A = this chain, B = another copy of it.
Amino acid sequence: LVIRDVATAVLADPFVAMNAVGLVAFALVGASKAIREEYDLFGIAVVGLATAFAGGATRDLLVNRVPLALSDPTEIGLGLLGIALAIGLSIALESPDDHPVTLVSDAVGLAAFTTAGAIVASGAGVSSFGVVVIATINAVGGGAIADVLLDRPPFILFEDFYASCAVLGGTTYWIVATVGASGTTAAAACAAI
């Protein structure tokens, strides 16, 4: 259902929709991990926002513009929404960071940010290799920062399925070149596995 809603919204305004979904989903995932580690409210907010914003901020630096997270106030609203959801889940559920809701959020966020990154990169006139790299960084940057902040080794990324998924999504985006929908499909396939 979540994936279907995203697909519908995407057809109207792909970047805004994908970016919003990614922000809420990654803030939720990051905050859930911080809650599990028994961080205080300040720590939960920092990890949640950093997870939501790190990938997009790196993307924006690479295409030479001021990070959206710093210039657009709606980004913080969406990040805080994700953190609030994580806190709500942590009250309602027992181990929210392993719960299917959180795992689905992670997969959806990965898919959404891969697509958002590919859209921004395509508009910035980089090479096709650049599109794949920027889409991947947008997607995996947040998780890498969360791991650093939570004092875990960040490059589990390279051992498991996660980064490959984002690379695949970015590549698919470039191949099909039909904005958004294709990225979502590839990412949905990843999420499904």
Contacts and interface: CB of A to CB of B under 8 A. Distances in A.
B124 A66 contact: yes
Contacts of A127: 70-73, 76
Interface residues of A, number: 34
Contact of A130 (B70, B148, B149, B153): B70
A129 B164 contact: no
A64 interface: yes
Interface in A48-66: 57, 61-66
Interface in A66-110: 66-67, 69-73, 76
Contacts of A67: 62, 130
Interface of A: 42-43, 46, 57, 61-67, 69-73, 76, 121, 124-130, 133-134, 148-149, 151, 153, 155, 158, 164
